[in-house]
Amino acid sequence: MLLLAVDTATPAVTVALHDGESVLAESNQVDARRHGELLLPSVDKVLAEAGLKLDALTGIVVGVGPGPYTGLRVGLVTASTFATVLGIPVHGLCTLDGLAYAAGAAGIEGPFTVATDARRKEVYWARYEDPRTRVGEPAVDRPADIAEQVAGLPAVGQGALLYPDVFTDARAPEHQSAAALAALAVERLAAGEEFLPPTPLYLRRPDAQVPKNYKVVTPQ
């Protein structure tokens, strides 16, 4: 087994190689505006560090969000392209699940909350009973609107740090880790669990919209 894991659903551009037993190499950079610029060099970096080539991969793991439209699609398109060219499967995982799994590795047992920055003064979030068990589906809300639901719970992710009045017990990790995402995928593969399709989980419409009252000009 050799899995390449990528996630660009948050400001972190994160890539890792996992051989089914341990992480062979990883790269983590935080830059919300340069996902497309940083991802492929990061893939090259981890492959070179591990002394491997792309055709050695047996599968791709990709975070499907939730996340902002532009950054999220970079990782998904890249993962799907690699999988198609190499003829290998691509396994989608919720980005919040990856952060929850990383929180478990950092010592959080649960229950707790994962929250990432959704912009527009909102967060993408979900509650977890433990690092492998999510309660319900991910959602996007204003922090004040979910204050009662997350009150008193530890919280991880950048969204928790941005709104300390609501997430009063914010802890590490702040950013997504492809290494944790890969390790979670290895566990799920061993257990025969299903994965998500490599399609984006936006939870709301893209920021970019066609202007209202847009005038269409047709040729005479």
Give me the mean pLDDT over the 14-29 stretch: 97
The band of 211, judged by pLDDT with boundaries at 50, 70 and 90, is low
pLDDT attached to residue 215 = 54
Please give the backbone phi and psi of residue 183, each rounded to the nearest 5 degrees, phi first: -65, -40
Give me the mean pLDDT over the 54-77 stretch: 94
The band of 203, judged by pLDDT with boundaries at 50, 70 and 90, is confident
Which residues are CB-neighbours of 60 under 8 A, at least 6 positions away?
3, 4, 5, 6, 79, 82, 83, 88, 89, 90, 91
pLDDT tens digits, one per residue of 169-192: 999 999 999 999 999 999 999 999
pLDDT attached to residue 49 = 97
Give me the mean pLDDT over the 69-85 stretch: 93
CA distance 85 to 90: 12
- In 3D space, the residue among 104, 89, 38 whose CA is nearest the CA of residue 195 turns out to be 89
Give me the mean pLDDT over the 6-21 stretch: 96
Give me the mean pLDDT over the 199-206 stretch: 78
CA distance 30 to 10: 9
CA distance 41 to 49: 12
Percent of residues, the chain, with pLDDT higher than 70: 92
Please say if the pLDDT value at position 204 is more than 80.
Answer: no
User: How is residue 199 written in tokens?
Assistant: 């399609």
pLDDT attached to residue 110 = 81
pLDDT attached to residue 93 = 98
Long-range Cβ pairs for the range 107-114 (8 Å, 24+): 108/154, 108/156, 108/171, 111/135, 111/153, 112/153, 112/154, 112/155, 112/156, 113/150, 113/153, 113/154, 113/155, 113/156, 113/160, 113/167, 114/155, 114/156, 114/157, 114/160
Whether 151 contacts 143, CB under 8 Å = no
Average pLDDT along the chain: 92
Angle, alpha carbons 90-2-105 (nearest 5°): 90
If one compares 56 and 120, the residue with the highest pLDDT of the two is: 56
Percent of residues, the chain, with pLDDT higher than 90: 86
pLDDT tens digits, one per residue of 43-56: 999 999 999 999 99
Give me the mean pLDDT over the 66-93 stretch: 94
Q: What is the pTM assigned to this prediction?
A: 0.90
Burial 97-134 (b: 16+ CB within 10 A, else e): bbbbbbbbeeebebebbbbbbbeeebbbbbbbeebeeb
